[in-house]
Structure formats: C-alpha cells, structure tokens
Structure 1
Amino acid sequence: MALAGAGILLAAGLLFTYADYHTLMDSDTHWYKGIFKQLGSIARIGFFAAAAVYPVFLLLKWKKLKKAEWGSFKPGKVLQVLRKWHTPIALVSAALVLLHGTLAILRGFTLDFTYMTGMLGVILLGFLTIMGFKRFKRNDRKLHFKLAIVFILVFMIHATFA
C-alpha cells in the first residue's frame, strides 16, 4: 500500500510537471525555486521521521518490553504499530525527493556542489530503497542500515549547502 501511495504521488507530480512544463519554465525563478525547495524540506522531515523509528526497532527486540503491561496499556503493541510507519514514510519521502530532483534538473543542470551532492543522494536513495525491500525479506539488514547513515550524511550536506 505504501509503495502504491508513493507511486501515485510520484506519477501525479511528474504528470503535473509534464502538463505545466511551459508554465513552470516561464515562471519567476524565485517562486520556482521555492516550490522545489519545499518538496525537499518536506522530504527531509519525512526521512527524519523514518529514521526516528529505528530506536523503535531496537525496543522491539527487548523481550521484557514486548511482554510488559501497565494496566491495559501494552507498549509492545504500540511499538509494532509505530514500526509499520517506517516504510510508508520513507517511500513517500523518496517520491518527494524524485520530484524535487526532477524540478531542479528541468530548470537547468550545472556541475556544482549542490547538484552533485543531490545526484549522489538520489543514487544512494535508490540503493537504499532496494536494500530496504531486501531487508523486508530479512536480507541485507546491516547494509540497509549503513546505506541509511551514508544517505543521511550526504543529504544533510546537500541540504546545508544548497
């Protein structure tokens, strides 16, 4: 379901970009940059939310907490619900990053630090997404985690110096 939602978001954004291409190209540069920077900022918040779920994964491994009960409150059940939000948040954020990159490149590509870190981030995000699907099948868990750390570093460098 999360993959379908991210795919629909990406398809709608690309369709909007294709349909309004001339309007976007003729628009004020300041307004245009504001649009694609907002997409990047929303994606950044989403990736931090997805990364914040990682401690929940660690807490789920703690058997005492899984079995704990405080009255009718069961923290293990709450943690399981929170864990399920990692993938949808990450996929929607990835779709926003692809829209952000598409809009940035459509206006004009230059070989500067911002574009290079952005392209590196998108490449890492592609590998991270693939490893995330493999991780869902219990393969390559450590590689997904390491790629996530490298991606967050690259994307923070990109966001800081953009």
Structure 2
Amino acid sequence: MAAEAPKSVFDFTVKDIRGNDVSLSEYNGKVLLIVNVASQCGLTNSNYKELNVLYERYKSKGFEILAFPCNQFAGQEPGSNEDIQEVACTRFKAEFPIFDKVEVNGKDAVPLYKFLKSQKGGYFGDGIKWNFTKFLVNKEGKVVERYAPTTSPLKIEKDIQNLLESS
C-alpha cells in the first residue's frame, strides 16, 4: 500500500542543523514562515535583520520561522552546518530554528520543498529562483502564500498578523 500523500507541512520530518530528526508536527497550530537561507548572498543582511524583527514580535503569539540553508544559488552557503550556525546565530543573531543544509530544486530536493513548491508554484514555474524565497504556512500546515526572494520580510507582516488572528 502506497504511503498517503502529505496533506500539510506537519506531515514531514526534517533534520535540524545538528542532524537530529524534527517532526514538523510539533509546530501544529503555529503560523510558519519557511525560508531557504544563505550566508553570503546580497540579500542576507536585510533578510536576517527583518526576519529577526518578525520573530521577536510574533514568536510569543504562535509564529515560527524555519530556516533551511541551501547552497544551490551561486554557492552562497558553502560552509558546513557548524559554519552556518555560527554565521546565523552569532553574526545575524538568529534565534529561530536553523535546519540541515538542503537542496530545494532538482532531483535531490528534500520532500518538504517538493511539497511547498507543489502547493505554491512560483512566477516562472515551480523552481525556487534564489535564496530567501519565503513560504507562509497557516496553523493547519497549508501553504497560503509564496514570496519572492526580494520581498522584504517586513512587507509580509500584515499577512502573518492575519493568519495569527484567524482561529
């Protein structure tokens, strides 16, 4: 019997930056922003800064940011998981969870990203175009919006508020 197709992001298990399994079901009931991050991108400073602002404002209200490092765009996340954690947590002061480095495109894309892209294709098809593509997920684990890498995290604050306020 074939496994049931995932119905929400809460059906996935991913690896954290230390290699431990994390069931995304532990975020059930929270609004999520899932982002593919990179340490050496032109968008890195502004995105981490604004993601930190959003996280500070809404983490106590049921909001979580899940960051997935990815080296598929111009090799801008070349380091090991330890290097990535050092940059994200020390240089950019990220307090939100950073996960294992993943591939978001191609045959080796992780299942979570295949699901995200199947739920919300991009402007030019499904592929993730660059670092800091953002997926907004509601409390039921459904992908409700996809934002371009150049969309400032603070520009989506209203969408996050609306999801947090919906029951």
* Shorter-chain TM-score above 0.5: no
TM-score of the pair, normalised by structure 1: 0.25
TM-score of the pair, normalised by structure 2: 0.25
- Higher RCO (C-alpha under 8 Å, 6+ residues apart): 2
Bigger proportion of residues as helix: 1
Larger radius of gyration: 1
